[in-house]
Chains A and B, each alone.
Chain A
């Protein structure tokens, strides 16, 4: 349970400046993207585009961007689900480790999160080619799962390690099966972290560029790949549309999650 901090008597002046800076830094980039996505052209020294068009947004409905957004959403959901499912038992198992091994295991699990994409990508390319899934959505999904599982396993390792195992031992001594322990003891106690892990794993896949490019071999057209292609082609209007597609639904989903979570005390903020 988180304590409520009583309001300060007087708000320090710097927090007002911070609030203005925060508002600007969060909303200004979004406003720029919205304007750019609607601009026919927007060149120096104009503060606002000289003319507007919905042509960029029509490309969403007519194909490429819309389809790739769907691909990305499916990939990210599948990644989040699979990674959290895999990471739960892994994290639980790693949490049983003691001092030296505990750190070795945590470091190993953190490696896929920290490794530069080209090194991770080469390994995953060899693996997915061997499995015969390179260049396919399945291969890309497996590739996304690797850093996501690493991240989530670390998260669960932390929580399971912190909460101790007394109630679990108690349940076991009362004759609960492994599955029953999971269902009745372990999962309810980490519900909030599961939500958080799902969200982060979703985002790891949703924003992924390097692994999708390397493993997908150009054939899996996730949204970030399309946006990168548009940016590098100088198509700033369509790129802005793609960028907003990447950002806005995810922001809304996350806010909704947080709003729902506030009642169950799952996510901070």
Chain B
């Protein structure tokens, strides 16, 4: 132990020395803004909206978001950004960064002790929100101040709770998605509709099914846990070790009994959804999946998936969740970030991104409460004929449970697949 302590001390000293060395090189005339954005957010939240907008005018907002989908990028860069510039003279810089990267980056920024960071707005939900809150890396509360927040569908448990957590004003919702499986309507006209049917189908068609290693794959396992472990009710209301143990037994029992019939005999799994789509498009597997029920339509349009691909949901229920935007504790421009969050939440933007030819991202607004002309336009908006009807989606939608379930399933699945002891 003494050796350990001495080592830590030595390393810490060298680290500090190096930091000091670096700090000497820092521009002394650099203005030192408030140590964090919390105070500024509290002050902004007390201002009338118009004064806040005036404060945001002429500024730049850096928004770290997932940039993996051209349809979403086109909406943000081609629709949101120009409107921000026109109306508020705000420059929107939408840059890459999501989930784990965001948390790591903010932790490091806090450790480095710099005044303000780089991003003013971040796209988050679920476990990222939990981690940012646990590490006090989000500023707030502020989301109730946004004028458009009045129309949010707060009656929906899927919107008012983020993986069972109360957003508490520290994040503002901006869209919903629902998990769906994908089949080829020509190759497989009648896809399995429940986990039991899926199991039978996998046994009958060895080598034709897999899931990815990343977020969508774990969401698939979580749905399996709901279906085989007594329904979402059995896991709702916070994380419980015993309840998880039951769910885990059900999940890995199902996987164990089928693994040999998976693609490549269950020895390996595609790294992400894109890789899985590639396998599906080339006929290596017969089913794909996506966290976004509308992904299939966007991907057909982009030529990634064949024109005959269709999404479907399992009658056991599929997970729906909401994505949000938050303001980091060290945001350089919280006022601008709030204006952007409000535009994202506005009926106009919500309608635009709901359009099937734009993104088909679900709205978080209660469309019966939004003012005209938006209400009529929401009502008149037709689904893409290739999409799952909205009432079907709503009927089978299941909420998320505590992010701990996701964490544990991910870790246990990796241990299971790599033989790191029995999960």
Q: Do A and B contact each other directly (Cβ–Cβ < 8 Å)?
A: yes
A interface, CB within 8 angstroms of B: 39-41, 43-44, 64, 122, 125-127, 129-132, 134-135, 213, 217-219, 221, 225, 229, 231-238
Quick check: B304 and A236 within 8 Å, CB to CB?
yes
Quick check: A219 and B93 within 8 Å, CB to CB?
yes
Interface residue range, chain B: 35 or more
Sort A-B residue pairs by CB-CB distance and give the 5 closest, nearest first: A234-B274, A129-B112, A135-B118, A218-B97, A130-B22
**A207 vs B111: C-alpha distance in the bound complex, in angstroms?**
29
CB neighbours of A219 from chain B (8 A): 62, 93, 95, 118
Q: Which of A44, A131, A234 contacts B304 (CB 8 A)?
A: A234
**A21 vs B64: C-alpha distance in the bound complex, in angstroms?**
45
**Which of B144-152, B197-205, B276-284 lies at the interface?**
B276-284
Quick check: A229 and B68 within 8 Å, CB to CB?
yes
**A62 vs B30: C-alpha distance in the bound complex, in angstroms?**
37
Known contacts A129-B108, A130-B19; A233 and B118 CB within 8 A of each other: no
Quick check: B283 and A125 within 8 Å, CB to CB?
no
Known contacts A127-B22, A129-B114, A132-B26; A44 and B282 CB within 8 A of each other: yes
Q: Which of A43, A126, A231 contacts B19 (CB 8 A)?
A: A126
Quick check: B22 and A134 within 8 Å, CB to CB?
no
The answer to whether the Cβ of B156 comes within 8 Å of any Cβ in the partner chain is no
Quick check: A126 and B62 within 8 Å, CB to CB?
no
A219 to chain B, nearest CB (A): 5
**A130 vs B18: C-alpha distance in the bound complex, in angstroms?**
10
Quick check: B281 and A43 within 8 Å, CB to CB?
yes
Q: What is the chain A residue whose CB lies nearest that of B277?
A: A234
**A12 vs B291: C-alpha distance in the bound complex, in angstroms?**
58
Report which residue of B19, B73, B274 has the largest number of chain A beta carbons within 10 angstroms of its beta carbon: B274
**A43 vs B283: C-alpha distance in the bound complex, in angstroms?**
8
The answer to whether the Cβ of B67 comes within 8 Å of any Cβ in the partner chain is yes
- Give a binary string over B120-163; 1 marks a CB under 8 Å from any A CB, 0 the rest: 00000000000000000000000000000000000000000000
The answer to whether the Cβ of B69 comes within 8 Å of any Cβ in the partner chain is yes
The answer to whether the Cβ of B356 comes within 8 Å of any Cβ in the partner chain is no
**A241 vs B330: C-alpha distance in the bound complex, in angstroms?**
37
Report which residue of A122, A130, A219 has the largest number of chain B beta carbons within 10 angstroms of its beta carbon: A130
Quick check: A132 and B96 within 8 Å, CB to CB?
no
Quick check: A229 and B306 within 8 Å, CB to CB?
no
CB neighbours of B70 from chain A (8 A): 233, 235, 238
Quick check: A134 and B118 within 8 Å, CB to CB?
yes
Quick check: A43 and B306 within 8 Å, CB to CB?
yes
Quick check: B108 and A126 within 8 Å, CB to CB?
yes
Q: Which of B23, B67, B95, B101 contacts A130 (CB 8 A)?
A: B23
Quick check: B108 and A132 within 8 Å, CB to CB?
no
**A232 vs B105: C-alpha distance in the bound complex, in angstroms?**
21
Quick check: B303 and A130 within 8 Å, CB to CB?
no
Q: What is the chain B residue whose CB lies nearest that of A127?
A: B22
**A234 vs B303: C-alpha distance in the bound complex, in angstroms?**
10
Q: 18 new A-B pairs (CB below 8 Å) besides A131-B26, A229-B68, A236-B304? A: A41-B281, A44-B282, A44-B283, A125-B108, A125-B112, A127-B22, A131-B22, A132-B27, A134-B109, A135-B118, A218-B97, A219-B95, A221-B95, A232-B274, A233-B69, A233-B274, A234-B277, A236-B278
Quick check: B26 and A221 within 8 Å, CB to CB?
no
Quick check: B272 and A232 within 8 Å, CB to CB?
yes
